[in-house]
Structure 1
């Protein structure tokens, strides 16, 4: 849409504002806090961690790292989704409500789900949930003239259709694009409580890359620091989550709660959250294995200006650290783990022949030393295990050269309560059993 046309329409809208209904972006009666159910998709579809899947998770993590490294100089784009290592938030959308499962992504800003009239979809089966704005009495299409449709590289007015559209290009070549809507979101909790939020902004996908997204999800729940994310829409100054352990689903509930606003659990010690428009960045200073601090220069974890450079990212499965740190971790772990080592061609993964019980017996614990916070990582979160219990592999990878950011990935985050205080710019982390978070 031409800028002159849009400007004239806005002048008219301002002159007549006293006669109009409240703006589309208004959302009365927003709660001070609430809970939302999250879980791992392996509860329904057991993840398959064969060698090719190990490598796919690593490739995905490196792709995410590539994006974070470009984020200082480039307009943010979407990130590749991980598939079997996604974590899911369950919610109802519209009235009457329809249940959807969206990937929890602290590295993405636009929330979207596939539309009923999608041309290329995540899942085209009749059983796959898809959004139908015509069937929801609370649905509204965001106008080109609404302030929420200001032009940038993700959300803008389409001149041809005169509709507010979004386009996200993911770093693996996949994409999602469609129309921007407002509708009612109902968040469900594992204690069967619920809360309704009106006029939540999100995208309805008419196009998304087939075969690139996990078939158990219908879209993405964007939780980054970007002003377009869900957190920014409702100005919640605090939120927390605890990712349940996908390996223990037979032993305990696979569910946990994500907590928003006053419900957030700010437990344990905290570390400073560094300024960044998009992501949650903190300072990693060192690593210990079985209580012994590794001889590593803290500066290797920093940016060139000496600032911290570790991104907390639910969308990256494998934790990515500098080459020198990774090599020192491997050098330390190999003599400690009394299991046959498994080598894969053209791969620097650290893997052993063994299963879940072997992890508990042979794998040592680790401590990540953040600025002002020492975080204990249990053996079950340090390695991931194949479903056939044949091999276990370290859930860490070297970042390669010419990289700036480290990534604290989802596997190591399991069974850790992570809380974000956006007002005080702090992140709290405390080990706990996530299934108990009701």
Structure 2
């Protein structure tokens, strides 16, 4: 049996990510989109809390529950596309808006498109960690006319006094509405003018209070990716219990020497006509230990009606697999782990094992995801699918889904994930993300 050793530490693991908001150079370099290349700091929304690794996963799963329902609804029913978007997320993006720049912590969301923040004067605004943006105090703010392409790209919009009005709802009565504008956004010391965004005067619902708005990173025309027209972007997510920040890299800096890496895994991106914003992958099979699971070809197929398929998502914590596939995976882990199953259901995860008293490491089966592509076999490290806790349990950080499967951020820890939007591929390269 092919196994890997998972080391774990007894005790509480502390999070304390330091923010770099406000550390912008006095003079910003304004870049045109054709020359873009910059790096942005990301931090986990639970930064600063004293949680064990298992507690972090459980908190993230609770946040992800509503998000997953939104993702499923958006993918399976094209008729809901106009009013259901992904929303929420697990990582905050550090940037600034306006001239002079105002610091801003945005929820990073690869499952939706609109960029928005709360703006004065607010009719209804939720509490946010940074001051609410005041467009009247920025010399670079402009209202977006109704004739603009970005206004036309909105699923719900109206026109008042020649200004584009937007409304964006997230399927659980969370919403943002206001006017569309353009503004200079600053990433590190790099300023990018005329980015279209929603200036929300009426914002309500749960899930947004960790940040001061949201930056959509999907494939639609409203997203930051599309507006910047960058050929590539990448992110490298540190371990969920790390004290270090993660990194997002845009444009010309996103690849560097990545494609010379021997252990790079590259697979094509698939586009769904009903959900064109999502990043779909072609997953063909899964191997546990030395056994490839007998998965039906239809289990991961993207159907014509928009159901099924596999998306990669930075805002969903653990991986969710189609129910029949997960049951096969679960059964094989029970067979190969050689540890008693924990049936207490205290962890919130579907499959857990009891760790022998005094053990500091355990052997776990290898787990390999087989994607489409030449040699596109992603061999995950043990800490990317087993989470061990000081309470004496080790759990599989995966769950079942009813249709669409999601490759979550827990499985992407310490990997450089490169989205090549020209070649329409995604590449995975093992990295120590806290050392970038």
Return the TM-score normalized by structure 2: 0.79
Is 1:272–2:268 an aligned residue pair?
Answer: yes
Contact 1:360–1:380 (Cα < 8 Å) also in 2? no
* SS, match of residue 35 in structure 2: coil
C-alpha separation in 1, matches of 2:271 and 2:214: 24
Q: Does 2:69 match 1:63?
A: yes
Check 1:52–1:229 CA distance in 2 against 1; reply closer, same or farther (3 A cut).
closer
Segment drifting more, 332-341 vs 92-101:
332-341
Identify the residue that residue 309 of structure 2 maps to in structure 1.
309
- Cα distance, 1:379 vs structure 2: 2.2
Matched, 1:111 2:115: yes
Aligned match of 1:237: 231
The DSSP-based 3-state class of the residue aligned with 1:247 is coil
Q: Is residue 2:331 matched to residue 1:325? A: no
Q: Judging changes above 3 Å, is the alpha-carbon distance between structure 1 residues 184 and 346 closer, same or farther for their aligned structure 2 residues?
A: closer
TM superposition shift of 1:45: 3.6
CA offsets, 1:329-365, max 9 Å, x none? 111222406265143399772234569x979524444
Deviation (angstroms), 1:389: 5.5
- Tell me how far apart the structure 1 counterparts of residues 421 and 58 of structure 2 sit (CA, whole Å): 39
Equivalent position of 2:428 in the other structure: 429
Q: Distance in 1 between matches of 2:302 and 2:75?
A: 10
Q: Any conservation in 2 of the 1:418–1:430 contact (CA below 8 Å)?
A: yes
Match of 1:256 in 2: 246
* Distance verdict in 2 for CA 1:226–1:46, change over 3 Å: farther
TM-score by length of 1: 0.79
Indicate if the aligned counterparts of 1:291 and 1:367 stay in contact, CA closer than 8 A.
no
Question: Which residue of structure 1 aligns with residue 222 of structure 2?
Answer: 228
Q: Residues 62 and 231 (structure 1 numbering): CA distance in 2 closer, same or farther, change over 3 Å?
A: closer
1:369 match: 370
Structure 1 residues 284-433: aligned runs within 5 Å: 284-304=283-303, 309-335=309-335, 336=337, 338=339, 341-344=342-345, 349-352=350-353, 361-372=362-373, 373-384=376-387, 392-400=394-402, 403=403, 405-433=404-432
Change over 3 Å in CA distance of 1:409–1:50 after alignment to 2: closer
Contact 1:365 1:379 (8 Å CA) reproduced:
yes
Q: Secondary structure at the match of 2:329?
A: helix
Q: Is the 8 A contact 1:384 1:411 kept in 2?
A: no
Displacement after TM superposition at 1:172 (Å): 2.8
Report the equivalent of 2:197: 202
Contact 1:285–1:369, Cα closer than 8 Å, also in 2: yes
CA distance in 2, matches of 1:149, 1:313: 26
> For 1:202-233, what per-residue CA distance to the aligned partner results, in whole angstroms no more than 9, with x for missing partners?
112222224x1253311111011101111111
Q: Is there any run of 5+ residues in structure 2 with no aligned partner, and where?
A: 1-29
Q: Which residue of 2 aligns with 1:16?
A: none
Q: Is the 8 A contact 2:119 2:200 kept in 1?
A: yes
Output the CA distance in 2 between the equivalents of 1:174 and 1:359: 44
CA distance in 2, matches of 1:342, 1:412: 24
Distance of aligned partners of 1:294 and 1:166 in 2 relative to their CA distance in 1, 3 Å threshold? same
Query: Any idea what SS the aligned residue of 2:241 has?
Result: helix
1:140 aligns with 2:142: yes
Shift in Å, 1:167: 1.4
Aligned-pair distance for 1:68? 4.2
1:182 Cα offset (Å): 1.0
**SS of match in other structure, 1:173:** coil
Measured after TM superposition, the shift of residue 149 of structure 1 is 2.1
1:281 matched to 2:271: no
Deviation at 1:87, TM superposition (A): 1.0
